[in-house]
Structure 1
């Protein structure tokens, strides 16, 4: 505590950074940023941008960069991405900002911030291009937590030979996140062909009854192969769970 207070008095750290060190969070006009989450449970705090005004998203991401050196925001629309970019350009001109419009994920990093690095590979698999959004969200979280991401896209069961062509790579991964809409068949099939953990990510795509992701979710919950399942379009949860598995493997490999 004394070191933090001395650093604040000397102008070496900001009020927000001092608060985050002492309380574990930083308070802004639009809420509190949980700066201690990653050290507490291994998963970085992310700003859920959907439903928030662009200025609120920008403030929270700026708090993240100020207190942890890195920022992650999900469900970000272009207006919010622009607001974040503009604010960080003013407050942290050397920070880098990347925005994936398909995944709707924004990442930011201060110039002196280091990234974690895990000796583990997470495969992120999609049945079709419509699954790219939630799968991209999962991949961004995995990368933010330090594991290497390998993508296997458009390998759905409607043309199962595409999946067969990628089996060698899938079997070399440490954990797989498999995204599929419609009837959600791909994660079940993949789980029957590999001996690594599979996390099924149901996607809200399809026609008519069950086409909002409910058919995919129900199918995965009833899978006769061994896998775990997250909620519809819950890319963040799937990616975080996969990266936690990767962290455990990395720790074992370092022993």
Structure 2
């Protein structure tokens, strides 16, 4: 924890009291002009990093907030990126500073500060190709929280043999938690949960149309699952990724402690 490091530095005479006070004060939040108060110590407090929701923000505001977060922590996750936001980011940061999701709506901007790997493993599965943008948001959140990730996309129940053909990857990687993103009737998380022995998080996606479209049928189906799953809100990729990573990181820490005891 950052606070423990500051106290240790005081104890060792490495910093003076005024420097320590300034450092502790910065653990609250950092204002960005009049538009935002960045929670730069959220990761230290909760294990989940601060992120920027680009949707609803002006492109230059997203860039300004990103710069403040990068200065404080070295990295920032940005979600729900539109074309204008993408253009502004690519003008403001070098290509090697931006890691994009497959569809370009989620990104991590950084100054080459690495993520400490925890040993946790999160698998992300989608029913269809249309579910990938939301799944990618979840995947990048889990990765930023230190987890290794395994993506298995387009294996929905309309052709269940596709999932069967990918099960060996789950058996080989042994993920600590699994996110399953699905639209339409949202059946896939229930099926996956009936085949594995780790927590499954259902992520309903706003694909599909007609009665129960826009993710509503998928969410209700997941809530009615006869196998045990947790369910997040429609298109809540960030929440699903963070929850899955919390589980995986807790399991990884337990593995380390168990190894230390042997």
TM-score by length of 2: 0.86
Q: 1:242 aligns with which of 238, 241, 244?
A: 244
Structure 2: distance between partners of 1:231 and 1:184: 13
Give runs of aligned pairs for residues 118-197 of structure 1, distance below 5 A. 118-171=118-171, 172-197=174-199
C-alpha contact (below 8 Å) 2:127/2:157 kept by paired residues: yes
Q: What is the deviation of 1:99?
A: 2.7
1:7/1:151 Cα in 2 relative to 1: closer, same or farther (>3 Å)?
Answer: same
Task: Give how far 1:151 is off.
Answer: 0.7
In the TM superposition, residue 7 of structure 1 has moved relative to its aligned partner by 9.2
Structure 1 runs, 4 residues or longer, greater than 4 Å off: 1-8, 18-21
For 1:15, the equivalent position in structure 2 comes to none
**Is residue 232 of structure 1 aligned with residue 237 of structure 2?**
no
Unmatched 5+ residue regions in structure 2?
1-5, 7-14, 258-262
Following superposition, the deviation at residue 19 of structure 1 comes to 7.3
Segments of 5+ residues of structure 1 without an aligned counterpart are 9-17
Which of 68, 75, 79 aligns to 1:63? It is 68
Structure 2 CA distance for aligned equivalents of residues 163 and 245 of structure 1:
23
Q: Distance in 2 between matches of 1:103 and 1:131?
A: 14
> Does the aligned pair in 2 maintain the 1:81–1:106 contact within 8 Å?
no
**Secondary structure, counterpart of 2:26 in structure 1:** helix
Q: Give the conservation status (yes or no) of the 8 Å contact 1:20–1:35.
A: no
* Rounded Cα–Cα distance in structure 1 between residues aligned with 2:25 and 2:139: 29
Q: How does 1:30-109 map to 2 (within 5 A)?
A: 30-88=35-93, 96-100=97-101, 102=103, 104-109=105-110
Please give the alpha-carbon distance, in whole angstroms, between the structure 1 residues aligned to 2:156 and 2:104. Answer: 19
Preserved contact between residue 127 and residue 154 of structure 1 (Cα < 8 Å): yes
Call closer, same or farther: CA 1:241–1:4 in 2, change over 3 Å.
Answer: farther
1:121 CA displacement:
1.4
CA distance in 1, matches of 2:244, 2:188: 17
In 1, are the aligned partners of 2:102 and 2:136 still within 8 Å (CA)? no
Q: 1:95 to 1:71 in 2, by over 3 A?
A: farther
Instruction: Assess, with a 3 A threshold, how the Cα gap between structure 1 residues 42 and 23 changes in structure 2: closer, same or farther.
Output: closer
Q: C-alpha separation between the residues in 1 aligned to 2:231 and 2:222?
A: 7
Q: Match for residue 28 of structure 2?
A: 24
Give the drift of 1:100: 2.9
Q: CA deviation at 1:6?
A: 4.4
Q: Quickly say closer, same or farther: Cα 1:19–1:62, change in 2 above 3 A.
A: farther
Q: 1:3 offset after TM fit, Å? A: 4.7
Relative to structure 1, is the Cα distance of residues 79 and 247 closer, same or farther in structure 2, using a 3 angstrom cutoff? same
**Structure 1 residues 254 and 207: alpha-carbon distance in aligned structure 2, compared to 1, 3 A threshold:** same
Alignment RMSD? 2.2
1:207 is paired with a residue of what secondary structure? coil
